[in-house]
Amino acid sequence: MRILVIGSGGREHALLTGLKADPTVTDLHIAPGSPAHAKQATVHPEYSQVDDPARMVELAVDIAADLVVIGPEVPLVKGVADALRERGIAVFGPSASAAQIEGSKAFAKDVMAAAGVRTARAEQLAPGTNDADIEAALDRFGPHFVVKDDGLAGGKGVVVTESRDAARAHVDAVHAAGNPVLLESFLDGPEVSLFCLVDGETVVPLLPAQDHKRAYDNDEGPNTGGMGAYTPLPWLPADGTQRIVDEVCVPVAKEMVKRGTPYTGLLYAGLAWGKEGPAVVEFNCRFGDPETQAVLALLKSPLGEVLNATATGRLASLAPLEWEEGYAVTVVLAAEGYPASPRKGDPITSPDLDDPTRVLHAGTTTGEGGYVSNGGRVLNVLGRGATLADARAAAYEVLDGIKLEGSFFRKDIALPAEKGQISI
Protein backbone atom coordinates (compact mmCIF):
# COMPACT_ATOMS: atom_id res chain seq x y z
CA MET A 1 0.00 0.00 0.00
CA ARG A 2 1.40 3.37 -1.08
CA ILE A 3 0.43 6.14 1.33
CA LEU A 4 0.70 9.93 1.12
CA VAL A 5 0.63 11.87 4.39
CA ILE A 6 -0.23 15.58 4.19
CA GLY A 7 1.40 17.83 6.78
CA SER A 8 4.79 18.68 8.24
CA GLY A 9 4.74 18.57 12.05
CA GLY A 10 5.15 16.28 15.01
CA ARG A 11 1.72 14.72 14.52
CA GLU A 12 2.68 13.77 10.97
CA HIS A 13 6.04 12.41 12.17
CA ALA A 14 4.11 10.17 14.59
CA LEU A 15 1.86 9.01 11.75
CA LEU A 16 4.88 8.22 9.56
CA THR A 17 6.49 6.27 12.40
CA GLY A 18 3.38 4.18 12.89
CA LEU A 19 2.86 3.61 9.18
CA LYS A 20 6.50 2.65 8.64
CA ALA A 21 6.06 -0.18 11.15
CA ASP A 22 3.08 -1.62 9.22
CA PRO A 23 4.24 -4.42 6.87
CA THR A 24 1.34 -3.71 4.49
CA VAL A 25 2.75 -0.21 3.81
CA THR A 26 5.25 -0.53 0.99
CA ASP A 27 5.87 3.12 0.12
CA LEU A 28 5.51 6.32 2.16
CA HIS A 29 5.35 9.92 0.93
CA ILE A 30 4.78 13.20 2.77
CA ALA A 31 3.96 16.72 1.58
CA PRO A 32 5.46 19.11 2.35
CA GLY A 33 7.13 17.28 5.23
CA SER A 34 10.47 18.31 6.69
CA PRO A 35 14.06 17.07 6.33
CA ALA A 36 13.66 14.89 9.44
CA HIS A 37 10.84 12.99 7.73
CA ALA A 38 13.18 11.86 4.94
CA LYS A 39 14.35 9.04 7.21
CA GLN A 40 10.95 7.39 6.80
CA ALA A 41 9.32 8.75 3.64
CA THR A 42 9.88 10.49 0.33
CA VAL A 43 9.52 14.18 1.12
CA HIS A 44 7.81 16.56 -1.33
CA PRO A 45 8.67 20.09 -0.10
CA GLU A 46 7.58 21.59 -3.42
CA TYR A 47 3.97 20.74 -2.53
CA SER A 48 3.73 23.25 0.30
CA GLN A 49 0.18 24.46 -0.52
CA VAL A 50 -1.52 21.72 1.46
CA ASP A 51 -4.85 23.57 1.37
CA ASP A 52 -4.86 23.61 -2.46
CA PRO A 53 -7.05 20.67 -3.56
CA ALA A 54 -5.71 20.68 -7.13
CA ARG A 55 -2.08 20.49 -6.00
CA MET A 56 -2.76 17.68 -3.54
CA VAL A 57 -4.66 15.70 -6.18
CA GLU A 58 -1.80 16.27 -8.61
CA LEU A 59 0.72 14.77 -6.19
CA ALA A 60 -1.50 11.85 -5.17
CA VAL A 61 -2.09 10.94 -8.81
CA ASP A 62 1.60 11.38 -9.68
CA ILE A 63 2.75 8.91 -7.03
CA ALA A 64 -0.29 6.62 -7.51
CA ALA A 65 -1.27 6.84 -3.86
CA ASP A 66 -3.55 4.10 -2.57
CA LEU A 67 -4.42 6.14 0.51
CA VAL A 68 -4.02 9.78 1.53
CA VAL A 69 -3.88 10.65 5.24
CA ILE A 70 -4.56 14.33 5.93
CA GLY A 71 -2.95 15.59 9.13
CA PRO A 72 -3.89 19.29 9.59
CA GLU A 73 -7.37 20.77 9.78
CA VAL A 74 -7.01 23.51 7.14
CA PRO A 75 -6.82 21.15 4.10
CA LEU A 76 -9.87 19.30 5.39
CA VAL A 77 -11.94 22.46 5.79
CA LYS A 78 -10.75 23.61 2.35
CA GLY A 79 -12.07 20.45 0.67
CA VAL A 80 -8.88 18.54 -0.13
CA ALA A 81 -10.51 15.25 0.91
CA ASP A 82 -13.48 15.93 -1.39
CA ALA A 83 -11.22 16.58 -4.39
CA LEU A 84 -9.23 13.40 -3.77
CA ARG A 85 -12.36 11.29 -3.43
CA GLU A 86 -13.70 12.69 -6.69
CA ARG A 87 -10.59 11.22 -8.34
CA GLY A 88 -11.29 7.83 -6.76
CA ILE A 89 -8.50 8.04 -4.18
CA ALA A 90 -9.15 6.73 -0.68
CA VAL A 91 -8.76 9.43 1.98
CA PHE A 92 -8.49 9.34 5.75
CA GLY A 93 -10.25 12.57 6.67
CA PRO A 94 -13.73 14.09 6.52
CA SER A 95 -15.35 16.10 3.74
CA ALA A 96 -15.32 19.89 3.92
CA SER A 97 -18.93 19.92 5.07
CA ALA A 98 -18.26 17.38 7.84
CA ALA A 99 -15.02 19.16 8.83
CA GLN A 100 -17.15 22.14 9.89
CA ILE A 101 -17.38 20.29 13.21
CA GLU A 102 -14.03 22.02 13.81
CA GLY A 103 -14.18 24.80 11.24
CA SER A 104 -17.22 26.42 12.87
CA LYS A 105 -17.81 26.18 16.59
CA ALA A 106 -21.35 27.47 16.03
CA PHE A 107 -21.96 24.56 13.63
CA ALA A 108 -20.62 22.13 16.23
CA LYS A 109 -22.94 23.60 18.86
CA ASP A 110 -25.90 23.14 16.53
CA VAL A 111 -24.98 19.50 15.89
CA MET A 112 -24.61 18.83 19.61
CA ALA A 113 -27.93 20.45 20.40
CA ALA A 114 -29.68 18.28 17.81
CA ALA A 115 -27.86 15.16 19.05
CA GLY A 116 -28.58 15.83 22.73
CA VAL A 117 -24.90 16.06 23.67
CA ARG A 118 -23.88 17.96 26.79
CA THR A 119 -21.74 21.03 26.17
CA ALA A 120 -21.24 24.57 27.43
CA ARG A 121 -23.90 27.25 26.99
CA ALA A 122 -22.76 29.60 24.23
CA GLU A 123 -23.53 32.83 22.38
CA GLN A 124 -22.02 34.07 19.14
CA LEU A 125 -20.97 37.69 18.65
CA ALA A 126 -20.54 38.68 15.01
CA PRO A 127 -17.95 41.23 13.87
CA GLY A 128 -19.48 44.69 14.16
CA THR A 129 -21.42 43.91 17.33
CA ASN A 130 -21.70 47.19 19.26
CA ASP A 131 -19.96 47.83 22.58
CA ALA A 132 -23.13 47.74 24.64
CA ASP A 133 -24.12 44.31 23.32
CA ILE A 134 -20.61 42.94 23.88
CA GLU A 135 -20.56 44.20 27.45
CA ALA A 136 -24.04 42.79 28.10
CA ALA A 137 -22.93 39.40 26.79
CA LEU A 138 -19.85 39.46 29.03
CA ASP A 139 -22.19 40.19 31.96
CA ARG A 140 -24.07 36.98 31.15
CA PHE A 141 -20.94 34.83 31.11
CA GLY A 142 -18.75 36.15 33.93
CA PRO A 143 -16.96 35.87 36.21
CA HIS A 144 -15.09 32.97 34.56
CA PHE A 145 -14.83 33.82 30.86
CA VAL A 146 -14.28 31.44 27.94
CA VAL A 147 -13.78 33.36 24.67
CA LYS A 148 -13.23 31.48 21.41
CA ASP A 149 -12.39 32.43 17.85
CA ASP A 150 -15.26 30.82 15.92
CA GLY A 151 -12.97 29.52 13.21
CA LEU A 152 -9.74 27.61 12.73
CA ALA A 153 -7.14 28.72 15.25
CA GLY A 154 -4.83 25.72 15.55
CA GLY A 155 -5.77 25.18 19.18
CA LYS A 156 -4.65 28.67 20.13
CA GLY A 157 -7.78 30.79 19.57
CA VAL A 158 -9.20 30.36 23.07
CA VAL A 159 -8.82 32.58 26.13
CA VAL A 160 -9.96 31.23 29.51
CA THR A 161 -9.70 33.93 32.13
CA GLU A 162 -11.23 35.55 35.18
CA SER A 163 -10.14 38.95 33.87
CA ARG A 164 -12.97 40.79 32.15
CA ASP A 165 -10.43 43.08 30.46
CA ALA A 166 -8.57 40.09 29.00
CA ALA A 167 -11.85 38.57 27.80
CA ARG A 168 -12.89 41.81 26.12
CA ALA A 169 -9.43 42.21 24.54
CA HIS A 170 -9.75 38.78 22.93
CA VAL A 171 -13.25 39.59 21.65
CA ASP A 172 -11.85 42.74 20.04
CA ALA A 173 -8.83 40.93 18.58
CA VAL A 174 -10.95 38.20 16.99
CA HIS A 175 -13.41 40.76 15.61
CA ALA A 176 -10.52 42.80 14.22
CA ALA A 177 -9.46 39.71 12.25
CA GLY A 178 -12.98 39.56 10.78
CA ASN A 179 -14.10 36.44 12.66
CA PRO A 180 -17.10 35.82 14.92
CA VAL A 181 -16.55 35.19 18.62
CA LEU A 182 -18.13 32.49 20.76
CA LEU A 183 -18.65 33.16 24.46
CA GLU A 184 -19.11 29.99 26.50
CA SER A 185 -19.93 29.05 30.06
CA PHE A 186 -17.01 27.47 31.90
CA LEU A 187 -17.01 23.67 32.21
CA ASP A 188 -15.50 22.28 35.39
CA GLY A 189 -13.65 19.02 35.85
CA PRO A 190 -10.49 17.46 34.37
CA GLU A 191 -10.14 17.45 30.59
CA VAL A 192 -10.10 14.38 28.38
CA SER A 193 -9.06 14.05 24.74
CA LEU A 194 -10.66 11.07 23.04
CA PHE A 195 -9.87 10.25 19.42
CA CYS A 196 -12.42 8.09 17.61
CA LEU A 197 -12.20 6.44 14.23
CA VAL A 198 -15.53 7.17 12.54
CA ASP A 199 -17.08 5.65 9.43
CA GLY A 200 -20.68 6.82 9.17
CA GLU A 201 -22.34 5.50 12.33
CA THR A 202 -19.47 3.16 13.25
CA VAL A 203 -17.28 4.58 16.04
CA VAL A 204 -14.07 2.98 17.37
CA PRO A 205 -12.23 4.80 20.18
CA LEU A 206 -8.48 5.04 20.64
CA LEU A 207 -6.88 5.44 24.08
CA PRO A 208 -8.01 8.50 26.08
CA ALA A 209 -5.35 11.15 26.64
CA GLN A 210 -4.91 14.47 28.40
CA ASP A 211 -3.27 17.54 26.85
CA HIS A 212 -1.55 20.41 28.71
CA LYS A 213 -2.41 23.67 26.94
CA ARG A 214 -0.80 26.36 29.08
CA ALA A 215 2.77 27.37 28.26
CA TYR A 216 4.27 27.04 31.73
CA ASP A 217 4.27 24.78 34.78
CA ASN A 218 1.22 24.70 37.05
CA ASP A 219 -1.00 25.61 34.08
CA GLU A 220 0.27 29.18 33.97
CA GLY A 221 0.87 31.42 30.97
CA PRO A 222 -0.93 31.69 27.64
CA ASN A 223 -2.79 28.93 25.84
CA THR A 224 -0.65 27.14 23.25
CA GLY A 225 -1.14 24.41 20.68
CA GLY A 226 -0.22 21.96 23.45
CA MET A 227 2.89 21.52 25.61
CA GLY A 228 2.60 17.81 26.30
CA ALA A 229 0.23 14.89 26.77
CA TYR A 230 -0.04 11.42 28.27
CA THR A 231 -2.09 8.27 27.85
CA PRO A 232 -3.96 6.35 29.22
CA LEU A 233 -5.63 8.21 32.08
CA PRO A 234 -5.31 6.41 35.43
CA TRP A 235 -8.03 8.57 36.98
CA LEU A 236 -10.70 7.96 34.32
CA PRO A 237 -13.47 5.55 35.41
CA ALA A 238 -13.29 2.07 33.92
CA ASP A 239 -16.34 2.82 31.79
CA GLY A 240 -15.20 6.37 30.98
CA THR A 241 -14.17 5.82 27.37
CA GLN A 242 -17.34 3.90 26.58
CA ARG A 243 -19.49 6.59 28.19
CA ILE A 244 -17.89 9.23 25.97
CA VAL A 245 -18.46 7.04 22.91
CA ASP A 246 -22.09 6.35 23.84
CA GLU A 247 -23.04 9.82 25.11
CA VAL A 248 -21.04 12.00 22.72
CA CYS A 249 -19.39 10.43 19.68
CA VAL A 250 -22.07 8.01 18.50
CA PRO A 251 -24.90 10.58 18.78
CA VAL A 252 -22.81 13.13 16.86
CA ALA A 253 -21.91 10.56 14.18
CA LYS A 254 -25.58 9.64 13.77
CA GLU A 255 -26.60 13.31 13.58
CA MET A 256 -24.02 13.93 10.83
CA VAL A 257 -25.45 11.00 8.84
CA LYS A 258 -28.95 12.36 9.38
CA ARG A 259 -27.86 15.73 7.98
CA GLY A 260 -26.49 14.12 4.83
CA THR A 261 -22.89 14.87 5.77
CA PRO A 262 -21.62 11.53 7.12
CA TYR A 263 -18.34 11.72 8.98
CA THR A 264 -15.33 9.63 8.02
CA GLY A 265 -11.88 9.84 9.53
CA LEU A 266 -10.77 10.91 13.00
CA LEU A 267 -13.19 12.71 15.28
CA TYR A 268 -11.41 14.31 18.23
CA ALA A 269 -13.63 15.06 21.20
CA GLY A 270 -12.17 17.43 23.76
CA LEU A 271 -14.19 17.12 26.96
CA ALA A 272 -14.41 18.22 30.58
CA TRP A 273 -15.59 15.57 33.03
CA GLY A 274 -17.64 17.32 35.68
CA LYS A 275 -20.14 16.22 38.29
CA GLU A 276 -22.71 15.24 35.66
CA GLY A 277 -20.24 13.36 33.47
CA PRO A 278 -18.51 14.27 30.20
CA ALA A 279 -19.36 17.52 28.41
CA VAL A 280 -17.84 18.67 25.14
CA VAL A 281 -15.41 21.58 25.13
CA GLU A 282 -14.71 21.31 21.41
CA PHE A 283 -14.42 18.93 18.47
CA ASN A 284 -11.53 18.65 16.05
CA CYS A 285 -11.75 16.98 12.66
CA ARG A 286 -8.29 15.37 12.76
CA PHE A 287 -5.68 13.77 14.98
CA GLY A 288 -4.86 16.11 17.87
CA ASP A 289 -1.37 17.42 18.44
CA PRO A 290 0.45 16.47 20.72
CA GLU A 291 -1.87 13.72 22.03
CA THR A 292 -1.38 11.71 18.82
CA GLN A 293 2.30 11.34 19.56
CA ALA A 294 1.60 9.60 22.87
CA VAL A 295 -1.43 7.58 21.72
CA LEU A 296 0.18 6.12 18.59
CA ALA A 297 3.29 5.17 20.60
CA LEU A 298 1.14 2.49 22.30
CA LEU A 299 -0.80 1.21 19.27
CA LYS A 300 0.06 -2.41 18.36
CA SER A 301 -2.47 -2.81 15.53
CA PRO A 302 -1.08 -2.03 12.03
CA LEU A 303 -1.75 1.70 11.57
CA GLY A 304 -2.00 1.58 7.77
CA GLU A 305 -4.61 -1.16 7.92
CA VAL A 306 -6.59 0.78 10.55
CA LEU A 307 -6.61 4.06 8.59
CA ASN A 308 -7.35 2.34 5.29
CA ALA A 309 -10.29 0.40 6.74
CA THR A 310 -11.76 3.68 7.99
CA ALA A 311 -11.18 5.44 4.67
CA THR A 312 -12.72 2.65 2.59
CA GLY A 313 -15.87 2.06 4.65
CA ARG A 314 -14.68 -1.15 6.32
CA LEU A 315 -14.26 0.07 9.89
CA ALA A 316 -17.10 -2.15 11.17
CA SER A 317 -15.19 -5.28 10.08
CA LEU A 318 -11.81 -4.19 11.49
CA ALA A 319 -10.38 -6.42 14.21
CA PRO A 320 -10.44 -4.89 17.72
CA LEU A 321 -7.54 -2.53 18.26
CA GLU A 322 -4.59 -3.86 20.23
CA TRP A 323 -2.48 -1.73 22.58
CA GLU A 324 0.85 -2.02 24.36
CA GLU A 325 0.72 -2.26 28.13
CA GLY A 326 1.81 0.73 30.18
CA TYR A 327 1.89 4.47 29.58
CA ALA A 328 3.25 6.99 27.09
CA VAL A 329 4.15 10.63 27.71
CA THR A 330 5.15 13.31 25.22
CA VAL A 331 6.73 16.61 26.22
CA VAL A 332 7.07 19.56 23.84
CA LEU A 333 10.37 21.41 23.55
CA ALA A 334 9.40 24.94 22.52
CA ALA A 335 11.47 27.72 21.01
CA GLU A 336 12.28 30.91 22.86
CA GLY A 337 9.37 33.33 22.50
CA TYR A 338 6.70 30.69 21.90
CA PRO A 339 3.74 31.09 21.49
CA ALA A 340 3.79 34.82 20.67
CA SER A 341 6.96 35.13 18.54
CA PRO A 342 9.10 31.98 18.46
CA ARG A 343 12.74 32.34 17.47
CA LYS A 344 13.92 30.26 14.52
CA GLY A 345 17.22 29.14 13.06
CA ASP A 346 18.99 27.96 16.22
CA PRO A 347 21.01 24.71 16.08
CA ILE A 348 19.70 21.63 17.91
CA THR A 349 21.92 18.88 19.27
CA SER A 350 20.98 15.55 20.85
CA PRO A 351 22.04 11.91 20.42
CA ASP A 352 18.36 11.03 19.91
CA LEU A 353 17.37 13.41 17.09
CA ASP A 354 17.08 10.61 14.52
CA ASP A 355 15.30 8.12 16.79
CA PRO A 356 11.51 8.55 16.25
CA THR A 357 10.77 6.31 19.25
CA ARG A 358 12.28 9.07 21.39
CA VAL A 359 12.09 12.32 19.40
CA LEU A 360 9.53 13.48 16.83
CA HIS A 361 10.25 16.62 14.81
CA ALA A 362 7.50 19.23 14.98
CA GLY A 363 9.26 22.40 13.83
CA THR A 364 12.75 21.75 12.47
CA THR A 365 14.70 22.06 9.25
CA THR A 366 18.35 21.59 8.35
CA GLY A 367 21.12 24.17 8.38
CA GLU A 368 24.88 24.13 8.46
CA GLY A 369 25.90 21.13 10.50
CA GLY A 370 22.51 19.64 11.24
CA TYR A 371 19.01 20.41 12.48
CA VAL A 372 17.86 23.92 13.37
CA SER A 373 14.63 25.22 14.87
CA ASN A 374 11.92 26.22 12.41
CA GLY A 375 8.76 26.65 14.47
CA GLY A 376 7.31 27.34 17.89
CA ARG A 377 6.92 23.74 19.01
CA VAL A 378 10.25 22.33 17.87
CA LEU A 379 10.40 18.73 19.14
CA ASN A 380 8.06 16.21 20.76
CA VAL A 381 9.98 14.00 23.17
CA LEU A 382 8.51 10.57 23.92
CA GLY A 383 8.76 8.35 26.97
CA ARG A 384 7.18 4.97 27.60
CA GLY A 385 7.05 2.87 30.73
CA ALA A 386 5.17 0.33 32.78
CA THR A 387 3.97 3.12 35.06
CA LEU A 388 3.21 6.76 34.42
CA ALA A 389 6.22 7.69 36.57
CA ASP A 390 8.45 5.48 34.41
CA ALA A 391 7.11 7.05 31.20
CA ARG A 392 7.65 10.57 32.56
CA ALA A 393 11.18 9.73 33.66
CA ALA A 394 12.02 8.31 30.23
CA ALA A 395 10.79 11.44 28.44
CA TYR A 396 12.61 13.86 30.72
CA GLU A 397 15.83 11.84 30.47
CA VAL A 398 15.78 12.41 26.70
CA LEU A 399 15.03 16.11 27.20
CA ASP A 400 18.07 16.46 29.45
CA GLY A 401 20.24 15.51 26.47
CA ILE A 402 18.80 18.10 24.06
CA LYS A 403 20.47 21.47 23.56
CA LEU A 404 18.60 24.36 21.92
CA GLU A 405 19.45 27.89 22.99
CA GLY A 406 16.56 29.71 24.69
CA SER A 407 14.22 26.71 24.49
CA PHE A 408 11.91 25.65 27.29
CA PHE A 409 9.56 22.84 28.28
CA ARG A 410 7.08 22.13 31.02
CA LYS A 411 8.48 20.00 33.81
CA ASP A 412 5.07 18.88 35.10
CA ILE A 413 3.52 17.04 32.15
CA ALA A 414 1.41 14.20 33.63
CA LEU A 415 2.74 14.98 37.12
CA PRO A 416 -0.67 15.65 38.76
CA ALA A 417 -1.91 12.30 37.41
CA GLU A 418 1.24 10.53 38.62
CA LYS A 419 0.68 11.98 42.10
CA GLY A 420 -2.99 10.98 42.12
CA GLN A 421 -4.13 14.59 42.27
CA ILE A 422 -6.76 14.29 39.52
CA SER A 423 -10.15 12.84 40.33
CA ILE A 424 -13.73 12.84 39.09
DSSP character string of 340-387:
TS-----B-B-TTTT-TTTEEESSEEEETTEEEE-SSEEEEEEEEESS
- At 58 the pLDDT is 98
Residues of the chain with CATH 3.40.50.20: 1-94
- At 154 the pLDDT is 53
What is the Cα–Cα distance from 409 to 203, expressed in whole angstroms?
A: 35
Length of the chain: 424
Burial category of 276 from C-beta neighbours within 10 Å (exposed 0-12, middle 13-18, buried 19 and up): exposed
Mean pLDDT split into 10-residue runs, the chain, 424 residues: 98 98 98 97 98 98 98 97 98 98 90 95 90 90 84 67 90 90 88 98 98 96 94 97 98 98 98 93 95 98 98 97 98 97 97 97 95 98 98 98 98 98 94
- At 155 the pLDDT is 52
Residue 103 sits at the vertex; the CA angle it makes with 13 and 361, to the nearest 5 degrees, is 15
| The CATH fold of domain 1-94 | Rossmann fold (3.40.50)
* Prediction pTM value: 0.91
